[in-house]
Amino acid sequence: MSKSASLWQSDEMSARIRKRYAAEKRFKAMGMGAILVSLAFLIFLLGTMIYEGIGGIDLDFLVNSDATEPDKAGIWGSLKGSLFTMLVTLILSFPLGVLSAIYLEEFAPRNRWTTIIEVSINNLAAVPSIIFGLLGLAVFIQVMHLPRSSALVGGMTLALMTLPVIVIAGRNAIQAVPPSIRDAALAVGASPVQTVFHHVLPLALPGILTGTIIGMSRALGETAPLLLIGMRAFIATPPGGVTDSATVLPMQVFLWSGEIDPGFVQNTSAAIIILLIFLVLMNGLAIYLRNRFETRW
């Protein structure tokens, strides 16, 4: 008894334990440090943008379009371009995404076709965005002769990119609706289509909308594919429709960042602030929808 106690309390043993506890503390501090570094970077990034850009946001900046002089340039043109582009994206990707999600989750027979569809959707979700730009250029512009650098082509390209996001979110939301709902509807004589459209879909809608908003916010921040389809032109007049030459908000950031005049640094940062405000609002809406309407079964 006394012998073992002395073994535990020997100098050698307590030195070892101290060492192990020190290692434990170091490890924990490293984890803390990793989080702090990431947070510090985030704060540094946002802080820099706000510091550089907040002075540039005024009414003129919001209502003017691009100009060659930094203090006359504004973001209205690109904001309107973004709006048109997002509208096209939403109109195309939301119905298509929801319908494919319903098909795959509720009606698709387990066969090779279904597997091919599922594999392509999952792969599309991982394809780099610039590849979608190549597709848009080769198919929409070269083959279909749609107007270059228009919101229509931009929106169609981004819709293809957003589609897998919506399908995957939609499938998860539909899957989360318990089978008892379907069984109950079928038991009182609803047809399978009625069951899905009258009962399953309304219950899955908040989840689908959350996924859609997240997909749209990604599309709103996307630049690379639009670079390839020519939405990088200098647009001094806001587009009047989806077939006019247009540019989008992130593209305006990119275009201004390449200007040599130092006055554009303020404009670039100010445009980034506006872009981030939109993204925060969209993601906030998604979180609100999820918390407000999502049912836990």
Partner 1 sequence: MAPLIVLLCALGLGLVGWFAARAKAQAMFTGRGSLHSLPGYHGWNMAIWVFLPAFLGWALWQVISPGLVETAVLSNPAAASLPEFGFQRDAIIAEARNMALNPDAPTFNPKAANLVPAFTAAITKYNWIGMFISLILAFVGGAWGYTRVRADYPARTRVERSMMMLLLLASMIAILTTVGIVGSLIFETGVFFTYVSPIDFLFGTQWAPDPFGSATAPNLGEDYGAIPLFWGTIFIGAIIAMIVAIPLGLMSAIYLTQYADARLRKWIKPVLEILAGIPTVVYGYFAALTVAPMVRDFAGSIGMANPSTESALAAGMVMGIMIIPFVSSMADDSIAAVPSAMRDGSLAMGATKSETIKRVLIPAALPGIVAGVMLAISRAIGETMIVYMAAGAAANLSANPLESMTTVTYQIAKLLGGDGEFDHPATLAAFALGLVLFIVTLLLNIIALRVVKRFREAYE
23 touching partner 1, by CB under 8 A: yes
- How far apart are the C-alpha atoms of 189 and 88, rounded to whole Å? 39
37 touching partner 1, by CB under 8 A: yes
The answer to whether 236 and 66 are in contact (CB under 8 A) is yes
Instruction: Count CB atoms within 10 A of the CB of residue 227.
Output: 15
- How far apart are the C-alpha atoms of 185 and 175, rounded to whole Å? 16
| Strand, coil or helix: 245 | strand
- Tell me the one-letter amino acid at 235: I
Single out the residue of 82, 89, 210, 223 in contact with partner 1 (rule: CB under 8 A): 223
275 touching partner 1, by CB under 8 A: yes
- How far apart are the C-alpha atoms of 6 and 110, rounded to whole Å? 69
The nearest distance, CB 228 to partner 1, in angstroms, is 5
The answer to whether 181 and 199 are in contact (CB under 8 A) is yes
62 touching partner 1, by CB under 8 A: no
Q: Which residues neighbour 107 within 8 Å (Cβ) at sequence distance 6 or greater?
A: 192, 196
Q: Give the x-and-dash track for 63-102 against partner 1 (CB under 8 A).
A: --------------------------------xx--xx-x
The nearest distance, CB 102 to partner 1, in angstroms, is 6
Q: Give the x-and-dash track for 146-185 against partner 1 (CB under 8 A).
A: -x------------x--xx--x------------------
Instruction: Count CB atoms within 10 A of the CB of residue 190.
Output: 16
Of 124 and 285, the one with the shorter C-beta distance to partner 1 is 124
Query: Which segment (62-70, 78-86, 131-139, 176-184) binds partner 1 by CB under 8 A?
Result: 131-139
Q: Give the x-and-dash track for 249-268 against partner 1 (CB under 8 A).
A: -xx-xx--x-------x--x
Query: Which segment (7-15, 62-70, 77-85, 212-220) binds partner 1 by CB under 8 A?
Result: 212-220
The nearest distance, CB 14 to partner 1, in angstroms, is 15
- How far apart are the C-alpha atoms of 157 and 142, rounded to whole Å? 14
HSE-CB of 218 using CA atoms within 13 angstroms:
18
